[in-house]
Structure 1
C-alpha cells in the first residue's frame, strides 16, 4: 500500500548508520557507568552510616562532639572545594537544564568533579549521623556522569546536553530506589516535563539500564520488602483521608520552610549563617545530635530502618518522632551539607501513618497500619516535592505495593494539592534561587550597556 513504511529499506538505513549506532553505544555505556556510580555511592553511604551507628552504640554521648565537628568540616570542605555539591542535587540538575543558563556554566552544577565530591561529602553526611538521604544526591551523581558523554558524541547527535541530563538524573532515581519505572516518570514530571520523540527511546533505555545495574548489584528486591496489604474497607476511608490531609499540610510547611531557609529569612540565625557558615553548621550538628539522643537514635540517618520497623509492627517510636525527624531534616538541609530529603521525607510520612494507625485502629492496628504507613510515605513525599506521580510510583515499587496503587495515588494527589496551597514547588524554587545571581548579573550588564556613553565619533 502506498505510504506504508518499507521495512527492508528502513532496516538497511538503520544498519548503515554506523555513527548513529556508535553514539547510542556511548550513551548506553555511560548509563552503565552512571548506574555503577550510584551503586558505589549507595555502598559508601550505607557503610558510613553503619560506622556512625557503631559509634553511637558504643559511646552515645560521643555524638555531641562527633556530629557537630564533622558537620562543620563537611560544610567547610563543600564551600572550599565543591560549592555546587551542597544540598540535594536535584535543584542543581534542574538549573543545568534551564535554557537561560549559558552552556559554559553547566560545569558549576553537573560534572565528573561534582559527582566525585557529592559521593564523598554525601557519604560523610551520613557518617556524621545527619538526617539526610542519598537518593536526591544520586540524581546529581548520575547526571554528572551522563553529561560527560557529550564530549564523545558527534555534533549533530540527537542526544544533546538536555537529553543527557534528563537521562542521567532519572537514571539516578532508578538506580537509587531500584525502581526503573519511577525513574522514567521522574524524567517526565520533574526534569523534562516531556520527552522528545526522536530520543525518548534511548533516554528510557538509559534509565532502565542504570536501574538494571542496581538490580544486578543488590538483587531484584523492593527497598522495604513486600508489604502484606489486606483488602481495605470503608472503615479505612477516614483514617486514610486524614493521613493524606495531614501529610499535605506538613509537607507543604516543610517545603516552605526549606525554601525560606535557603533564601535567607530576615532573622538573626540567617544572618549568622551567612556570616559564619561553618560555625552555624556546627550548631546545627549539635542540635541534631541532641535530638538523636532524645529519640535513642531514631532520627539519625535517612530513617529507612525506622520505616522497616514500622512496617513490620516492631517500632517503638515516640509520638514526637514525626516532629523531631521533621526538625532534624530541616536543620540538616539548613546547615548546607550535601544530602537529600527523599528518604527522610518517606520516614516522616511513615511516622504520620503509624501515628494515625495507633490512634484509630485499636485492635486492627496490625491489619491497617502497613497501608496507612505506605499512604503516609506517598503523601508526605508528594507534598514536599509536589511530584505526586513520581512519589506514589516510588513508594509502590519500594514496598511491592501494586494492590495499593489506587490508595497510594489518591494519597499523593490529595497531599500534593493541599501542599500547593501552602508552598511553591520546592525543587523549582531552589533552582530559581541558584539562577537568581545569574539573572541579576545579566540585568546589571544590560543596564550598564544602556547607560554607557556612546563611543567617540559615534553620531
Structure 2
C-alpha cells in the first residue's frame, strides 16, 4: 500500500505521521450521530423561526392594508378611525392582560430578562415560549390593524426566541446547548428575517442580548441565524426594504449638516427612550395614576390621541412608517411639516397605552424625518438630503436602542448604503453617546422593571460580570 508523503523539516514523513489527531477527530465526528441529530434539530427550528417570522411579516402587512381600508371606507372613513382605533386598542390590551401578560411590551426587554441565568424555567416560559410568541404575533398585528404607530421588528425578537427555545426539549443532555444560546439564536434570527439583514441579526445578538463573554457552539448559533435569514430571502427575494440608496460622492459640505443630524437625533432619541421608561415606571402625576387604576380607559384615551394625530397627518403616522421613509429616501416625500414631531408623539403614546408595541421601525421613520427636516432647514437639495435621511435613521435608532453598531449595520443593509458605511457609523456612535447623557440603555431598564411572577426584580440583584 502506497502512503502519501510530505517533505517536512528536511525529511520525509507519512501523512499519518504529520498529525494523527486529525484522523481521530474526523472519526469522532463521523461516529457522533447524536451530535449531528442535535445540530439538525437546532437548524430545523431555525428554519421554522424564519418561516414564522415570514408569516408574521405577511400578517402585519395585511393588517396595515386592513387599516387603510377602514380609513378609506366611504367619505367619512377617516373619522371612523376615531372609534376604530380606541376600541381595538382596548380589546388588545384586555386580551393581553387577561391571557398572556408576558406578551406586553416591545418584546426585547422580555428576552433580555429571560436571558438571566438565575431565572427558573417556569418563570422564563412566562416571558419566552411558543405560546407567548403566537399571541404576540396576533396582538402586534391587531395593533397595526388599529392604526397605532408601532413596529413588528422588536416583537419579532420575542417571537424568534420563543420558537427557538422549544428546541431544548428535543436535544440530548450531552449537546451542551442551553436555553440561553437558543434564545439568543432565535432572537437574532428574528431580527435577521424581519429586516432581511443577516449581518444585522448577528451583531444585534452580540451587542444587545448575550451577557456571556462567549456563546457555546457559536458556529451553530450563527448558522441558525443565517438560515432563518435565508428563509426570508427565499420568500421575499434578496431585496432591501428601501431599495438602493442613490448617493453620490459625499463631500465635506455635508459635514456640518451630518453633525447636526447626529446631535439632534441623539437628543431626541435619548428623550424618546426616557419617555418610554418613565411611562412604564410611572410618576406621581394624574396620567400615571389613571393608567394604574384604569388601564383600559387610559388605553382608550391613548388610542383616541393616536387616531387624532393620524387624522391630522392624513394617516401618515399610522403603522410602522415604511412608506413615508421610503418616499423620503427616493426623494419623493411630501409629508406635513410637523410629521416628525407627530410621529414621535404617536409612537410614544402607542407604547404608553400598554399594548404590545415595537419601536424599531417607527424609530427609523422618525430618524428619516429628522434628516429630512435638517436638510430643509439648511436649504439643501433633494440629492443632498438623501444621505442625511439615512444618517438620521441610523442616529435615532442608535440613540433609542443604545445599540450603535446594530443600528448602522441594519440601516446600511436596509438601504444598500455601503458607500456611506463610515458616515453611518460615525453618526450612530455620536448620537448614542449624546443619548447616554439623557438616559440609560432603555431595554436594560425596562427589563429590570418587568413584573415576572414569583421572581425578585432584576434591579435588586447585581449585574453579572
Kept in 2, the 8 Å contact 1:361–1:368? The answer is no
| Structure 2 residue corresponding to 1:24, chosen from 21, 39, 43 | 39
1:434 offset after TM fit, Å? 1.1
Q: CA deviation at 1:99?
A: 2.0
2:456 corresponds to 1:439? yes
Tell me how far 1:198 sits from its aligned partner. Answer: 4.1
Q: What residue number does 1:333 align with?
A: 351
Counting only pairs closer than 5 Å after superposition, residues 230-245 of structure 1 correspond to structure 2 as 230-245=248-263
Question: Are 1:297 and 2:315 counterparts?
Answer: yes
Counterpart residue number, 1:386 = 402
CA separation of 1:234/1:57 partners in 2, compared to 1, >3 Å: closer, same or farther?
Answer: same
Which of 194, 203, 219 is the aligned partner of 1:201?
219
Q: How does 1:35-74 map to 2 (within 5 A)?
A: 35-58=50-73, 59-74=77-92
Q: CA deviation at 1:440?
A: 5.6
Bigger CA drift: 430-439 or 342-351? Answer: 430-439
- Find 2:434's aligned residue among 410, 415, 418: 418
Question: Deviation per CA, 1:289-343, whole angstroms, max 9, x where unpaired?
Answer: 0000001111011101000111111111122111111110011101111120000
Count residues in correspondence: 441
Q: Cα 1:440–1:45, aligned 2, differ >3 Å: closer, same or farther?
A: closer
**In the superposition, relative to structure 1, how do residues 101 and 78 fare at CA in structure 2: closer, same or farther (>3 Å)?**
same
Matched ranges for 1:54-203 at <5 A: 54-58=69-73, 59-194=77-212, 196=214, 198-203=216-221
Q: What TM-score do you get using the length of structure 2 for normalisation?
A: 0.92
For residues 373 and 458 of structure 2, what CA distance do their matches in structure 1 show? 49
- Asked if residue 14 in structure 1 is aligned to residue 44 in structure 2, the reply is no
Are the counterparts in 1 of residues 400 and 435 from structure 2 also a CA contact under 8 Å? yes
Contact 2:450 2:457 in 1 (8 A): no
- For the residues of structure 1 that align with 2:406 and 2:322, how far apart are their CA atoms? 19
Tell me which of 271, 279, 286 is aligned to 1:268: 286
Match for residue 314 of structure 1? Answer: 332
**Alignment gaps of 5+ in structure 2:** 1-7, 9-16, 461-465
Question: Residue 197 of structure 1: CA displacement?
Answer: 5.6
The answer (yes or no) to whether the contact 2:273–2:400 under 8 Å persists in 1 is: yes
Distance of aligned partners of 1:3 and 1:184 in 2 relative to their CA distance in 1, 3 Å threshold: farther
Structure 2 residue 245 is the aligned partner of structure 1 residue 227 = yes
Quick one: distance in 2 between partners of 1:439 and 1:3? 56
Q: 1:160 to 1:274 in 2, by over 3 A?
A: same
How many angstroms does 1:8 deviate by? 2.2
Q: For residues 433 and 289 of structure 1, what CA distance do their matches in structure 2 show?
A: 29
What is the Cα deviation at residue 10 of structure 1? Answer: 1.5
Residue 193 of structure 1, CA deviation: 4.5
Instruction: Tell me the distance in 1 between the aligned counterparts of 2:456 and 2:136.
Output: 26
Shift of 1:4: 5.3
Q: 1:55 to 1:440 in 2, by over 3 A?
A: closer
Distance 1:277 1:382 in 2: 31
CA distance in 2, matches of 1:357, 1:131: 24
Alignment root-mean-square deviation, CA: 1.7
Provide the C-alpha distance between the structure 2 equivalents of 1:330 and 1:440, rounded to a whole number of angstroms.
25
Against the structure 1 CA distance between its residues 344 and 294, is the aligned structure 2 distance closer, same or farther, given a 3 Å change threshold?
same
Looking at structure 2, the residues matched to 16 and 221 of structure 1 have their Cα atoms a distance apart, in angstroms, of: 41
The corresponding residue for 1:375 is 391
Unaligned residue ranges in structure 1 (runs of 5+) = 444-459
Distance 2:239 2:150 in 1: 23
**How far apart, in 1, do the equivalents of 2:269 and 2:102 lie?**
26
**How many angstroms does 1:436 deviate by?**
7.7
Q: In structure 2, what is the Cα distance between the partners aligned to 1:296 and 1:148? A: 43
Q: Classify 1:219/1:43 alpha carbon distance in 2 versus 1 (closer, same or farther; 3 Å).
A: same
- Report the CA distance between 1:196 and its aligned residue: 2.9
Contact 2:449-2:458 within 8 A present in 1 as well: no
